């Protein structure tokens, strides 16, 4: 019987080889000639391999951890059971150092999702989202309605962080503010601006850009001079009203699918609007066929980002219940670390943060009572943006929403994916310092 069991087990292993393997390992990443950084990555590339999965078709993904720290991978924006979601706070197991663990799930919903480390980094600026451990995960529908000639995947990231007391370098920060992270480099994918292959296009093409802000803490506003972005999806979800805009804003963890019509031949910089960020390397060259010369940058008009640009006229359904969430900072003082509070508590005292009943529609009325941005992410669910400031809205579906300083938003979701679900700020330092809570089901 023992032998039979062993054979059955061996057979199962052979019969179910993984669809994908992600190997977590150290990587020496050359962002530009001479600028090599020591980080961690999946399968030796940054971003990791783009996983293209079919909606609803079960996949086996083996995570092999070839580092000396336990880690785990979160499938961001997917409806998967809590024990495979990749957040230890929800009960997903860690992939212990030197071991392999298989994750099996049927991916949904369709759209541009991503995967990344969900480990705690704490003060270690080489771990989790500070590292190269992220990649695209695209859930493809049976038929793709997007009409485009070329597809480009770009993930923004900031590198070489250090803890800085803002009081030391800037005038006028609150004297009680704690340490924040500043970066020495930035990139789209694995190269700094001017050091990678250009994106080669032809006049008349429609290019679909899948854009991801994989930065640990930094907002990105980007533009492509002479061109405009037609936004077709935010966080992977089709927007009710496709609008064409000049600048695109992404907070950490946000994605946008945009279509660009290539109709201004030349050599251009697709890059961060902030001069400082482009100097750090946040940009990529777009080169038309048969065009030569220095890549051109032109500063776009300053237009504030507004989620309601893409809304529908149809009002959102009334919620069954309304819950208030207040976000506050407990400043760490010069040289200390800030702590973060949700309704007066920090993780793990925010377990549970609130409890839901399956099938009910909830409205989270969120207030950011701090001078910092917070991209608030809810795991395992999609929410509808229903109010931004004083403006009622509907139809924009997301899994992460940026709250600007001292602002309010309301988001609605249906409790349709039982199990514990994490709600947290996607700034690595904020989530590590208490800005996290668990939504549970009755």
Part of the chain binding Cu ion (CB under 5 A), chosen from 103-111, 239-247, 270-278, 367-375: 367-375
DSSP-derived 3-state class of residue 122: coil
Query: Which of 74, 158, 424, 430 is in the footprint of Cu ion by CB under 5 A?
Result: 430
In the β-sheet with 283-288, what is the strand arrangement from edge to edge?
Answer: 199-201, 283-288, 267-272, 220-223, 247-250
Part of the chain binding Cu ion (CB under 5 A), chosen from 76-84, 151-159, 232-240, 423-431: 423-431
Task: Give the residue with the Cβ less far from Cu ion, 139 or 403.
Answer: 403
- Is 381 among the residues that bind Cu ion (CB under 5 A)? no
**Least Å distance between CB 427 and Cu ion?**
4
Query: Which of 191, 374, 380, 398 is in the footprint of Cu ion by CB under 5 A?
Result: 374
Part of the chain binding Cu ion (CB under 5 A), chosen from 103-111, 143-151, 278-286, 366-374: 366-374
Alpha helices in 24-92 (DSSP H): none
Cβ neighbors of 161 (< 8 A, separation 6 or more) are: 125, 130, 181, 182, 183, 184, 216, 217
**Least Å distance between CB 81 and Cu ion?**
27
For tokens 């309601």, the residue is 308
Task: Give the Cα separation of 226 and 215 in Å (integer).
Answer: 26
Q: Residue 48 has which token pair?
A: 């990791």
Q: What is the CA radius of gyration of the chain?
A: 22
Task: Give the residue with the Cβ less far from Cu ion, 75 or 435.
Answer: 435
Part of the chain binding Cu ion (CB under 5 A), chosen from 99-107, 157-165, 246-254, 370-378: 370-378
CB-based contact 181:153 (threshold 8 Å): no
Task: Give the residue with the Cβ less far from Cu ion, 127 or 427.
Answer: 427
CB-based contact 222:300 (threshold 8 Å): no
Q: What angle do CA 15, 18, 21 make, to 5 degrees?
A: 155
**Pairing label, strands 267-272, 283-288:** antiparallel
- Is 427 among the residues that bind Cu ion (CB under 5 A)? yes
- Is 425 among the residues that bind Cu ion (CB under 5 A)? yes
**Least Å distance between CB 243 and Cu ion?**
27
Part of the chain binding Cu ion (CB under 5 A), chosen from 118-126, 141-149, 194-202, 424-432: 424-432
**Least Å distance between CB 293 and Cu ion?**
41
What mask of x and - would describe binding to Cu ion in positions 382 to 421, judged by CB under 5 A? ----------------------------------------
Distances (CA, A) of 149 to 8, 113, 136, 203, 261: 48, 21, 20, 11, 10
**Least Å distance between CB 181 and Cu ion?**
12
Interface with Cu ion by CB under 5 A: which residues? 374, 425, 427, 430
């Amino acid at each position: 019987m023992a032998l039979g069991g062993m054979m059955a087990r061996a057979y199962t292993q052979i019969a179910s080889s993984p669809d994908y393997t992600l190997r977590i390992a150290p990587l020496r990443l050359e962002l530009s000639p001479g600028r090599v950084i020591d980080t961690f990555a999946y399968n030796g590339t940054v971003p990791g391999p783009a996983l293209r999965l079919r909606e609803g078709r079960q996949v086996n993904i083996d995570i092999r951890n070839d580092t000396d720290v336990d880690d785990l991978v979160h499938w961001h924006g997917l409806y998967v059971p809590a024990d495979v979601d990749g957040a230890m706070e929800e009960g997903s197991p860690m992939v212990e150092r030197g071991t392999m663990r298989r994750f099996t799930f049927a991916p949904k919903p369709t759209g541009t999702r991503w995967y990344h480390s969900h480990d705690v980094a704490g003060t270690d600026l080489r771990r989790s989202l500070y590292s190269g451990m992220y990649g695209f995960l695209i859930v493809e529908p049976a038929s793709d309605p997007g009409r485009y000639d070329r597809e480009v995947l770009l993930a923004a990231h900031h590198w070489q962080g250090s803890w800085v007391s803002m009081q030391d370098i800037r005038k006028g920060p609150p004297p009680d503010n704690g340490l924040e992270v500043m970066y020495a480099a930035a990139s789209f994918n694995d190269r700094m601006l001017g050091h990678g292959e250009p994106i080669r296009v032809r006049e008349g093409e429609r290019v679909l850009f899948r854009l991801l802000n994989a930065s640990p803490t930094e907002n990105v506003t980007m533009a492509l001079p002479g061109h405009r972005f037609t936004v077709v999806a935010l966080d992977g979800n089709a927007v009710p009203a496709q609008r064409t805009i000049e600048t695109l804003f992404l907070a950490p963890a946000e994605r946008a699918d945009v279509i660009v019509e290539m109709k201004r031949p030349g050599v251009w910089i697709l890059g961060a609007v902030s001069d400082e960020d482009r100097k750090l390397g946040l940009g990529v060259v777009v080169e038309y066929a048969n065009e030569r010369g220095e890549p051109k940058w032109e500063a776009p008009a300053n237009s504030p980002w507004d989620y309601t640009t893409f809304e529908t006229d149809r009002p959102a359904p009334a919620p069954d219940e309304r819950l208030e969430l207040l976000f506050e900072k407990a400043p760490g003082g010069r040289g200390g670390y800030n702590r973060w509070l949700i309704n007066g508590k920090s993780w793990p005292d925010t377990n549970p943060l609130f409890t839901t009943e399956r099938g009910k529609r909830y409205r989270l009325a969120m207030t950011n009572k701090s001078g910092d941005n917070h991209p608030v992410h809810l795991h395992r669910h999609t929410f509808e943006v229903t109010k931004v400031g004083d403006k009622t809205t509907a139809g924009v579906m997301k899994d992460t929403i940026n709250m600007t300083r001292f602002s309010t938003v309301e988001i609605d979701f249906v409790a349709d994916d039982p199990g514990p679900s994490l709600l947290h700020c996607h700034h690595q330092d904020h989530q590590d310092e208490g800005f996290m809570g668990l939504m549970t089901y009755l």
